[in-house]
Amino acid sequence: MAVRQRPFHLVVFGASGFTGQFVTEEVAREQMDPEGSSRLAWAVAGRCREKLQRVLERAAQKLGRPTLPSEVGIIICDITTPGSLDEMARQATIVLNCVGPYRFYGEPVVKACIENGTSCIDISGEPQFLELMYWKYHQKAAEKGVYIIGSSGFDSIPADMGVIYTSNKINGTLTAVESFLTINSGPEGLCIHDGTWKSAVYGFGNQNQLKKLRNQSNLKPVPIVGAKLKRRWPVSYCRELSSYSIPFLGADVSVVKRTQRYLHENLDQSPIDAASFTMTFFGQGYSHGCPIEDKKPNIRVCTQVKGPEAGYIATPIAMVQAAMTLLNDVSNLPSVGGVFTPGAAFAKTKLIDRLNKRGLEFSVISSSEV
Ligand SMILES: NC(=O)c1ccc[n+]([C@@H]2O[C@H](COP(=O)([O-])OP(=O)(O)OC[C@H]3O[C@@H](n4cnc5c(N)ncnc54)[C@H](OP(=O)(O)O)[C@@H]3O)[C@@H](O)[C@H]2O)c1
């Protein structure tokens, strides 16, 4: 990674957003950990100073650290002003980008980061955004020696690192993995913030659906209530669920109920604290020396990644630990920079150990020769 002396190791861009506030708290928590990085210099960035100050004050109160607001930098930066993005990027080693939908807001940040020699991590759940960034910017990022690592939240760190963990735990060559996601909501259902929901809708829609969406003045983002989600869905079905539950697509809306909006101020965090997820991986492959050509796979392994609520607890943990890995485990990253998925960037690093310490637990459930 192109490491230069910059005022801040990390800058949380979009810290005033619903997810950004939790990422801000998580950076502060990382800094307070006795085994963590007390010398971490960091800042929050966004377009409204007052909102950023309030986020720092709330984090200070929550973490019992009154001096926090005076220790953290504030950078004013708006996506619509390229100069402000350059200015932010120049001050950071890594930008943690929490401003979505990435389909609309993500590219200028990637561009500014690459041009200014800054690495960038995002929590996009929009696969086509990461793919587009790869095709447009991989080469330029490599030339600059910076790492642009997308989808480093719940989407897709547990899935990506879970497959890598499974591969490391099979005594041979892993050739296939099937994974299942269980989302456990508390009695009040799952909490999905409007901003996150909007990104999911925009992120999954194709061009025609997007056109329709733009013409739908009455489309209101709605949190999904967990009743039906308590069942086990294969991961791919879970992804599709987002589009199934978009009313204007005329799909099954019975999984969606309108509930109270979860606002930053006076946030009732109980639905978040009550939730958790489990991702289970069934891997199969061939033991060392077993001929692949004419035989069925002869070894199996079942692994799990378990963690707290996906969107606003697991996501900030994953994002911040990805950033700490990028800062501290440089020799195990791909040798040149570029645009990467989390699995491609972190396969050889200690990210899984870091996540385990923070409550995203990776374990082997069973392993057998068949
Ligand atoms: N991967 C995952 O599992 C996962 C989990 C959670 C969230 N996410 C993603 O995180 C993103 C944010 O979600 P959210 O619920 O936190 O949304 P949100 O509350 O609406 O936050 C959006 C943020 O973007 C900022 N912003 C908007 N326009 C801007 C501009 N022109 N210049 C600078 N900043 C601007 C907002 O700033 P203001 O406060 O000034 O309006 C706010 O800080 C979404 O894309 C979502 O999909 C992913």
Tally of CB atoms within 10 A around 8: 21
In a domain, 149, yes or no: yes
CATH at 63: 3.40.50.720
Report pLDDT digits (tens) over 220-272: 433 333 333 333 333 322 333 333 333 333 222 222 322 333 344 556 677 78
Q: Please tell me if the CB atom of residue 123 comes closer than 6 angstroms to any atom of ligand 1.
A: yes
In a domain, 61, yes or no: yes
In a domain, 365, yes or no: no
List Cβ neighbours of 90 (8 Å cut-off, separation of 6 or more): 6, 116, 118
Q: Is 266 exposed, middle or buried (0-12, 13-18, 19+ CB in 10 A)?
A: exposed
Query: pTM for this one?
Result: 0.87
Q: Are 204 and 239 in contact (CB under 8 A)?
A: yes
Q: Please tell me if the CB atom of residue 162 comes closer than 6 angstroms to any atom of ligand 1.
A: no
Ligand 1 geometric centre to CA of 96 (Å): 12
* Element housing 49 (H / E): helix 49-63
Domain that holds residue 43: 8-153+311-350
In a domain, 233, yes or no: no
Q: Please tell me if the CB atom of residue 314 comes closer than 6 angstroms to any atom of ligand 1.
A: no
In a domain, 195, yes or no: no
Report pLDDT digits (tens) over 182-199: 888 777 666 677 677 667
In a domain, 256, yes or no: no
User: Two tokens at 26?
Assistant: 């998580």
CA dihedral 51, 307, 183, 189 (to 10 degrees): -40
Sheet architecture: strand order including 361-369: 233-234, 172-184, 276-287, 299-308, 361-369
Pairing, β 276-287 against β 299-308: antiparallel
In a domain, 208, yes or no: no
Report pLDDT digits (tens) over 331-365: 999 999 999 999 999 999 999 999 999 999 999 99
Tell me how many domains the chain contains: 1
In a domain, 52, yes or no: yes
Q: Please tell me if the CB atom of residue 46 comes closer than 6 angstroms to any atom of ligand 1.
A: yes
Tally of CB atoms within 10 A around 143: 12
